[in-house]
Structure 1
């Protein structure tokens, strides 16, 4: 099981979701992707993308105006 990290704070929509999608494509089922994003901008988009594609948000940590999402990759 691998862990990867991704900071998408510098990107504007839709790039954070695209970057998450690209990172997940490189991972295996059961791996974890830690994504740092702005709470107001990207959080809901990334959360929705994970729900649509079957990945689970294991934990969410608030850090000032940012959020750290721990995503468990699920592939069939």
Structure 2
């Protein structure tokens, strides 16, 4: 039984964010640094955010959705390299 729908939704998004970020990291690690340098600042910024907020307790559902979209966009950029 779900007692808090927002917490549940944030948890599901958090899992998706983590999985997508791991995929981005894997893709970037396979490429040469000269190809990845222009998106590494985005990757590092997201990594810092995720390290501080992985539990998502201090982040709103709306911001969690925005961060999910950011990591999806980062994945698309990495795939295009």
TM-score, normalised via structure 1 length: 0.31
Structure with greater Cα Rg = 2
Pick the structure with more helix per residue. Answer: 2
Pick the structure with more strand per residue. Answer: 1
TM-score, normalised via structure 2 length: 0.29
Q: Which structure would you say has the larger RCO, counting Cα contacts within 8 Å and 6 or more residues apart?
A: 2
